[in-house]
């Protein structure tokens, strides 16, 4: 079926087509094959990098395509819609914003052209800790300044793609929580060169999860990070991370929308073709209505994502719209995933049909990079003016 392309310019349509062409070289058998050994999609990420797609949002002066979140979102949406998975490459798009907006000129000159050229991978983002969880302001991983270095000690959990990245953006505490005047201060962001760090103060322990996502536990034991790797001002890291979160929410919502479109398309195809009781199952309204409802949910989420992305690229602060996109996108994809499973009957669970893999992947976005409950907290308290629960 043909989804609406309302509001998509001819250039953006051409961009989507080139992503579709690239994805056609990596069919679902490719993604399924990776699962057997929990392998990273190295060839796919290489092709995506060579095509310039991972550098879409890097300004042209640094060798990128100089596009906005609108285009970044369309790229990720098309990948997920094709049956693929953007997650092994998506972080480079949104982590880069922190470097771009808050990094020094020297840092931008040193890293961005290399990232744009595909010589340097910035795929890892280290925030979550076992004892803090969603309460980011309670992280305790400590970066203590000693001369020209920070000495980092602590633990992170579920940090993705560390094994397949050269750099990691790390959020760590530079001032103990008890000593800060404002609870949002005392955290700093710094770039960790994983090529030097692993085995020299940084231990990486892969965590097996229900998705092929390469998440790891990290143990920092006196890891040395040069002070020149600090992004922006010491103690202001939480503010910097927050400022890139709108882009993260919009891009992740785009992946969910891509998943949703995949499920709707697969379900329509199967409902038209599968015959039971002498007629296509799609003739039963018990099959039709859930497909139509999922379609409606995905298309509505897409409208909110479009609004958020346009506002972001216009320089506005779309906190509300970015959070709404993330919530609506994740929920619509999950609704579509369940619908697609039901439409396929037992075959939805057969690995060779791919639905169960996409089902697991779509579920992740209800939880990460932020749980939907935390999005609801944001909307309740920051948008609707309800009393704070935390
Ligand atoms: C596969 C995978 C990859 C990941 N990759 C990364 C990564 O690359 N980098 C990174 O930093 N993190 C990563 N994460 C971590 C992810 O961001 C966290 O799992 C997520 O933010 C939730 O934290 P938690 O798991 O500790 O849940 P908790 O914070 O323990 O929450 C558990 C449940 O309680 C609810 N809850 C908690 N507090 C409240 C409240 N005040 N109000 C309402 N409900 C509440 C939550 O919504 C959730 O449903 C990844 C996670 C997974 C599973």
CB atoms within 10 A of CB 21: 11
- In the chain, what are the domains? 10-116 (1.10.540.10), 122-235 (2.40.110.10), 239-383 (1.20.140.10)
62: closest CA among 119, 111, 7, 134?
111
Cβ–ligand 1 contact at 27 (below 6 Å): no
Q: What is the radius of gyration, based on Cα positions, of the chain?
A: 21
Q: Classify 39 as helix, strand or coil.
A: coil
Strand partners, 230: 190
DSSP 26: S
pLDDT of residue 243: 80
Give the integer Cα–Cα distance in Å for 24 and 310.
28
pLDDT of residue 171: 98
Q: How do 167-173 and 122-126 pair as beta strands?
A: parallel
Is the CB of residue 23 less than 8 Å from the CB of residue 82?
A: yes
Give the integer Cα–Cα distance in Å for 321 and 220.
36
Nearest atom in ligand 1 to the alpha carbon of residue 127 is 11
Please list the pLDDT of the chain residue by residue as tens digits (390 residues): 667 788 889 999 999 999 999 999 999 999 999 999 999 999 999 999 999 999 999 999 999 999 999 999 999 999 999 999 999 999 989 889 999 999 999 999 999 999 999 999 999 999 999 999 999 999 999 999 999 999 999 999 999 999 999 999 999 999 999 999 999 999 999 999 999 999 999 999 999 999 999 999 999 999 999 999 999 999 999 999 988 899 999 999 999 999 999 999 999 999 999 999 999 999 999 999 999 999 999 999 999 999 999 999 999 999 999 999 999 999 999 999 999 999 999 999 999 999 999 999 999 999 999 999 999 999 999 999 999 886
- Choice from 126, 214, 368 to test ligand 1 binding pocket (greatest atom count within 8 A of CB): 368
Give the integer Cα–Cα distance in Å for 157 and 207.
9
Phi then psi dihedrals of residue 231, to 5 deg: -95, 125
367 CA from centroid of ligand 1 (Å) = 6
373 CA from centroid of ligand 1 (Å) = 10
CB atoms within 10 A of CB 191: 24
Omega before 120 cis (within 30°)? no
Q: pTM of the predicted model, to two decimals?
A: 0.97
Task: Give a three-class secondary structure readout of 311-349.
Answer: HHHCCCCCHHHHHHHHHHHHHHHHHHHHHHHHHCHHHHH
Cβ–ligand 1 contact at 138 (below 6 Å): no
Cβ–ligand 1 contact at 167 (below 6 Å): no
Cβ–ligand 1 contact at 209 (below 6 Å): yes
Alpha helices in the chain (DSSP H): 10-24, 28-36, 42-50, 69-81, 87-102, 105-116, 194-197, 237-273, 285-313, 319-343, 355-364, 372-378
Half-sphere exposure of 303 (CA within 13 A, CB side): 6
Is the CB of residue 297 less than 8 Å from the CB of residue 349?
A: no
CA distances 227 to 121, 137, 174, 271, Å, are 21, 22, 12, 59
Q: Classify 234 as helix, strand or coil.
A: coil
- In the block, tokens 């300004």 appear at 59
Nearest atom in ligand 1 to the alpha carbon of residue 371 is 47
């Amino acid at each position: 079926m043909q989804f609406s392309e309302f509001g998509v310019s001819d250039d953006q349509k051409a961009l989507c087509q080139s992503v579709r062409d690239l994805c056609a070289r990596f069919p679902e058998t490719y993604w399924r094959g990776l699962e057997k050994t929990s392998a990273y999609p190295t060839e796919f990420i290489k092709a995506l990098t060579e095509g310039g797609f991972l550098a879409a949002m890097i300004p042209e002066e640094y060798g990128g395509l100089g596009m906005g979140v609108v285009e970044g979102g369309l790229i990720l949406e098309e990948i997920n819609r094709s049956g693929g998975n953007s997650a092994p490459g998506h972080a480079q798009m949104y982590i880069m914003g922190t470097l771009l907006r808050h990094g020094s000129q020297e840092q931008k000159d040193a890293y961005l052209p290399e990232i744009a050229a595909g010589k340097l991978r910035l795929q890892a983002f280290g925030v979550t800790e076992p004892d803090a969880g969603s309460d980011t302001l309670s992280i305790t991983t400590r970066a203590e300044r000693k001369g020209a270095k920070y000495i980092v000690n602590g633990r992170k959990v579920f940090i993705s793609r560390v094994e397949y990245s050269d750099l990691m953006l790390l959020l760590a505490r530079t001032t103990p929580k008890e000593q800060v005047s404002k609870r949002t201060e005392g955290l700093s962001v710094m770039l960790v060169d994983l090529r030097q760090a692993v085995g020299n103060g940084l231990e990486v322990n892969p965590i097996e999860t229900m998705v092929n996502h390469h998440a790891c536990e990290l143990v920092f034991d006196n890891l040395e990070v040069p002070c020149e790797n600090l992004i922006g001002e010491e103690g202001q890291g939480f503010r910097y991370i927050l400022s890139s979160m709108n882009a993260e929410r919009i891009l992740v919502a785009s992946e969910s929308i891509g998943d949703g479109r995949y499920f709707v398309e697969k379900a329509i195809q199967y409902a038209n073709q599968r015959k039971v009781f002498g007629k296509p199952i799609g003739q039963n309204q018990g099959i039709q209505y859930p497909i139509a409802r999922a379609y409606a949910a995905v298309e509505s989420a897409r409208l909110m994502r479009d609004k958020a992305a346009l506002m972001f690229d216009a320089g506005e602060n779309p906190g509300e719209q970015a959070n709404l996109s993330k919530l609506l996108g994740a929920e619509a994809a999950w609704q579509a995933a369940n619908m697609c499973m039901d439409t396929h009957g037992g075959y939805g669970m057969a690995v060779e049909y791919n639905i169960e893999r996409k089902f697991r992947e779509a579920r992740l976005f209800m939880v990460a990079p932020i749980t939907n409950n935390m999005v609801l907290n944001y909307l309740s308290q920051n948008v609707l003016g309800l009393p704070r629960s935390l």
